[in-house]
């Protein structure tokens, strides 16, 4: 027989050597010898590309990391409290992972952990002996060594010194630096006031190679201010009396922090008296009691008042300055239509230009100037509109007849001396001009 069939149905033909070569070629499926050697030397290369290098080589070959696994540098965890024992809180992190966090870190925020409740945590390490993930309550104070400190950790330290650049802070025997711009929410010109105080701050930079640690107190204050702000906006209402701290003073008024919310204390609401310089009433850092005058939740604006908590001097103006009373006043302002005069602190009246003098006045500056003391007479009092009409001319007119009367001693001095007019005296000339003759019409 010239040929035989192989297992695949092909027929061998020719010499035995040629038949063997043909069988090998069919078994290789068209692959070259080089391709075959590469596939044997590197098996399962596709799976190796997906291996997780962070996983330890325990129990043989590591498995490929899941596509949705969290990043290796992610330190945020969310877990559910499952037990509280021995001042420790045990947390279920999902799967077979359990974590532990100190109970004190909840107490710092006056917060009591609830079993079954989920919270946000930060990964700090791993306890190989117990098989537990070490956690920290987000925002809790962390006292750790260089290896335990990470960006975002909240730590507590002692301010040991200050310079133009910022503060020197010692945290668990580790020296840290706090830039001046990170000390407070607003610019703080007196950094020495914090020296010797224990403060809470947040780690913003860790450089272990250079042993450099940078912290920020501003981050903590801003977080607390956000919490206070939300609470205050929910409680604010017109008519409330609140205590605040003056944060800044402007020409038009002052801003007062009333719990994370800055309200405007306008210059017109500072005092019942006229205020030319707000810094003479309040200064940054002053603690003041203010009344909430208006709240705009949409625009996030609050108007405050200070004089509303003081006695209104106009409440007794009718009794203090009745109509017809003559009193001394101080000129405060000049206007085209008259001059304002202060009768008592907080109570001003208007002297109209027609009531400034008995003679005609073209402008107020001809007669008075600010600071002058002037006797005035009260003409009218309007308590509702807080207006008092005054007159300086009436006082002058009332005093004029008394000044024109002759004294009692000079009236009969000539008769008592018994003297007679001298004969040589020339007769007195008639006073006035002679009467003008008027010609009669038509003649005589």
> Does 62 fall in a domain?
no
Dist CA 13 CA 2 (whole Å):
7
Q: Could you tell me if 122 and 148 are in contact, meaning their C-beta atoms sit under 8 angstroms apart?
A: no
Is 80 exceeded by the pLDDT of residue 83? yes
> Does 434 fall in a domain?
no
Is 90 exceeded by the pLDDT of residue 108? no
CATH number, domain with residue 279: 2.40.50.140
Asked if residue 271 and residue 328 are part of one domain, the reply reads: no
Asked if residue 199 and residue 179 are part of one domain, the reply reads: yes
> Does 368 fall in a domain?
yes
Give the pLDDT score at 69.
36
Is 60 exceeded by the pLDDT of residue 293? yes
- Do β-strands 11-12 and 4-5 pair in parallel, antiparallel, or remain unpaired? antiparallel
Q: Could you tell me if 280 and 230 are in contact, meaning their C-beta atoms sit under 8 angstroms apart?
A: no
Give the pLDDT score at 184.
86
Span 357-376, pLDDT tens digits: 888 888 888 889 999 999 99
Asked if residue 396 and residue 325 are part of one domain, the reply reads: yes
**Number of domains composing the chain:** 4
Of 261, 277, 309, which closes a domain? 309
Asked if residue 318 and residue 299 are part of one domain, the reply reads: no
Of 309, 326, 361, which closes a domain? 309
Within 273-420, residue ranges assigned H as helices are: 317-320, 393-404, 408-411, 413-416
Span 152-178, pLDDT tens digits: 888 888 898 888 889 998 887 788 899
Dist CA 118 CA 115 (whole Å):
9
Give the pLDDT score at 74.
54
Give the pLDDT score at 404.
54
Range of the domain at 334: 313-400
> Does 55 fall in a domain?
no
Span 219-250, pLDDT tens digits: 888 888 888 888 899 999 999 999 999 989 99
Of 309, 340, 369, which closes a domain? 309
Is 90 exceeded by the pLDDT of residue 189? no
Give the pLDDT score at 228.
86
> Does 164 fall in a domain?
yes
Dist CA 82 CA 65 (whole Å):
28
Report how far Cα 3 is from the mean position of its chain's Cα atoms: 100
Select from 221, 223, 25 the least CA-distant residue to 12: 25
Mean pLDDT within 52-56: 43
Give the pLDDT score at 133.
82
pLDDT category at 86 given cuts 50, 70, 90 is confident
Question: pTM value?
Answer: 0.48
Span 388-423, pLDDT tens digits: 999 999 999 888 766 555 554 444 444 333 333 443
Select from 312, 295, 376, 309 the least CA-distant residue to 340: 376
Dist CA 55 CA 189 (whole Å):
51
Is 90 exceeded by the pLDDT of residue 304? yes
Q: Could you tell me if 121 and 78 are in contact, meaning their C-beta atoms sit under 8 angstroms apart?
A: yes
> Does 61 fall in a domain?
no
| Greater model confidence, 104 or 364 | 364
> Does 152 fall in a domain?
yes
Give the pLDDT score at 34.
55
Cβ-proximal residues to 392 (8 Å cutoff; 6+ apart), any chain: 351, 355, 356, 357, 367, 374, 375, 376, 377
Is 50 exceeded by the pLDDT of residue 49? no
Dist CA 268 CA 274 (whole Å):
8
**Whole-number average pLDDT of the chain:** 76
Catalogue the E-assigned strands of 86-192. 88-94, 97-102, 118-127, 132-137, 154-162, 166-171, 174-179
Dist CA 18 CA 152 (whole Å):
75
Give the pLDDT score at 1.
45
> Does 60 fall in a domain?
no
Dist CA 9 CA 119 (whole Å):
70
Cβ-proximal residues to 335 (8 Å cutoff; 6+ apart), any chain: 364
pLDDT category at 27 given cuts 50, 70, 90 is low
Give the pLDDT score at 56.
44
Give the pLDDT score at 419.
38
Asked if residue 317 and residue 303 are part of one domain, the reply reads: no
Asked if residue 243 and residue 176 are part of one domain, the reply reads: no
């Amino acid at each position: 027989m010239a040929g035989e069939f192989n297992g695949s149905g092909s027929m061998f033909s020719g010499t035995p050597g040629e038949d063997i070569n043909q069988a090998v070629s069919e078994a290789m499926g068209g692959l070259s010898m080089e391709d075959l050697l590469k596939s044997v030397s590197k098996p399962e290369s596709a799976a190796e590309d997906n291996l997780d290098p962070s996983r330890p080589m325990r129990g043989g070959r590591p498995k490929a990391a899941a596509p949705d696994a969290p990043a290796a540098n992610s330190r945020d965890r969310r877990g559910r409290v499952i037990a509280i024992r021995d001042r420790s809180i045990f947390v279920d992190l999902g799967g077979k992972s359990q974590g532990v966090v100190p109970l004190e870190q909840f107490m710092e925020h006056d917060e009591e952990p609830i079993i079954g409740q989920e919270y946000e945590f930060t990964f700090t390490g791993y306890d190989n002996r117990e098989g537990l993930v070490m956690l920290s309550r987000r925002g809790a104070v962390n006292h750790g060594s260089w290896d335990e400190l990470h960006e975002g950790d909240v730590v507590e330290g002692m301010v040991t010194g200050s310079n133009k650049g910022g503060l020197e802070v010692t945290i668990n025997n580790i020296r840290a630096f706090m830039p001046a711009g990170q000390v407070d929410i607003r610019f703080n010109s007196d950094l020495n006031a914090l020296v010797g105080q224990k403060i809470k701050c947040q780690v913003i930079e860790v450089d272990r190679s250079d042993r450099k640690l940078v912290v920020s107190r501003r981050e903590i204050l801003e977080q607390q201010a956000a919490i206070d702000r939300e609470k205050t906006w929910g409680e604010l209402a017109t008519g409330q009396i609140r205590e605040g701290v003056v944060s800044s003073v402007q020409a038009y008024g002052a801003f007062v922090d009333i719990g994370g919310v800055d309200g405007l204390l306008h210059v017109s609401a500072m005092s019942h008296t006229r205020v030319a310089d707000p810094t003479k009433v309040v200064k940054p850092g002053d603690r003041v009691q203010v009344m909430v005058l208006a709240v705009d939740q949409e625009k996030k604006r609050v108007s405050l008042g200070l004089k509303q908590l003081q006695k209104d001097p106009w409440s007794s103006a009718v009794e203090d300055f009745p109509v017809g009373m003559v009193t001394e006043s101080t000129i405060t302002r000049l206007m085209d239509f008259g001059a304002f005069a202060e009768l008592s602190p907080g109570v001003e009246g208007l002297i109209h230009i027609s009531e400034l003098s008995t003679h005609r006045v073209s402008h107020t500056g001809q007669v008075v100037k600010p600071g002058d003391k002037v006797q005035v007479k009260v003409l009218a009092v309007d308590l509702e509109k807080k207006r008092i009409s005054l007159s300086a001319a009436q006082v002058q007119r009332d005093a004029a007849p008394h000044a024109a009367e002759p004294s009692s001693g000079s009236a009969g001095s000539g008769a008592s001396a018994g003297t007679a007019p001298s004969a040589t005296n020339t007769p007195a000339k008639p006073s006035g001009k002679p009467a003008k003759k008027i010609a009669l019409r038509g003649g005589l």
